[in-house]
Amino acid sequence: MSDEILFQKIVCNDAQRLDSFLARFLGEVLPGASRSGIATAIKAGLVSVNKKAVLKPAHKLKINDEVLVKKSRIPNENSRISSENSRISNELFEKIKIIYEDDDILVISKPSGLVVHEASSLKGESTLVDFLKQSGRQLATLGGEFRAGIVHRLDRYTSGVMVVAKSDFASAELSSQLQQKTASRIYIALCDLPLKQNCVVERAIGRCENNRLKKAVYPLGKNGAKYAKSAFCNIFLDEVQNSQNSPKKNTPNIIAAKLFTGRTHQIRVHLSSINRHILGDVLYGFKGSCDIIRVFLHGYILELKHPRTGQMMSFCAPLEDDFAALIGVDTRTLNEKLTKNFVLSCFEPINQWLCLS
């Protein structure tokens, strides 16, 4: 297979226009590809559907259609809009919030849209690592130059709390905590439907057979599937969801998720496996409004032992403005109601919850 092929198989999960489908799915892996560039590529015969070239951007896809794209030939506008990219990067850097810092660790709240570290599919993108280097901070080097200081990551469109290692000692200690599952991570998501009941999901996650961008639930070992465990609970905030500006029937469903393992896309995969989808997560089956331009998943709480002192530390990244706007309340009100202690208390009866495997 030619190196130019980005996807051997992208399976369409909803009837829609070809150019719209590609624009939404290429957003995470080929940001330089503009909507107009995708249309040009289609007209040039560089996109095929079910192994047949399609020349019309408005071509209507059917469910289970297979789309093939040649990555290197998608017109890339990075060279023409470098100044615009620089402006966007500066805006994202300004949104990074410092929660805590000492000689060993830096705890931040990452904004949605910011890539954590460089990847082959994201060349030219400004990253969190770039911000850290530009700040002049000392960073751990165990992960290499492109992942300096990084011991865990959040997806590009996931916001929230992250810890950065400023020394190799801290990097090794934090990585050990994550591997031994002694560090605790809780996320907040806005979903299309509430859970039928609070639950624990223990389902192995591996490479998706039909889409290289995705992960999927498989029997342990199939397609590299590894053990994964998550817990999910409904969050009901009557004071918020029954407010005058946000009637409960129109309010997105707030779900808290606790990770016991750290597989790629784990929360998104496990929710999809129980027919629940995060708003904006088109990759894993969300079929709502096209006006939602991010995945509404936020790293809310991170608890870990300080790598040098051994002291247990707990950090919280307040929800961003777009969460509150989608719910229909102001950000301050939402964060006053959705406190760290309240969210932690929601998981206290976890041993009584339904376990799905």
Residues that are catalytic:
155
Query: Residue 340 carries which side chain, given as an amino acid letter?
Result: K
Element spanning 302, H or E = strand 297-305
- Strand-pairing partners, residue 339, are none
Separation CA 160–CA 294 (nearest Å):
13
Q: Taking the mean position of all CA atoms in its chain, how far away is CA 204?
A: 19
Separation CA 34–CA 77 (nearest Å):
7
Tokens of 89: 């990067």
Q: Which residue carries 């997105």 as its tokens? A: 252
Q: Biggest alpha carbon distance in the chain? A: 62
Coil vs helix vs strand at 8: strand
Q: Which residue carries 């590299």 as its tokens? A: 224
23-57 residues labelled b (16+ CB within 10 A) or e (exposed): bebbbbbbbbbbeebbbbbbeeebbebeeeebeeb
Q: Are 28 and 156 in contact (CB under 8 A)?
A: yes
Tokens of 123: 């060349």
Q: Are 186 and 257 in contact (CB under 8 A)?
A: yes
The arrangement of strands across the sheet holding 47-49 comes to 5-11, 66-70, 47-49, 52-53
Query: Residue 107 carries which side chain, given as an amino acid letter?
Result: V
Q: Are 46 and 38 in contact (CB under 8 A)?
A: no
Coil vs helix vs strand at 179: helix
Q: Which of 343, 335, 349 is nearest to 314 (CA)?
A: 343
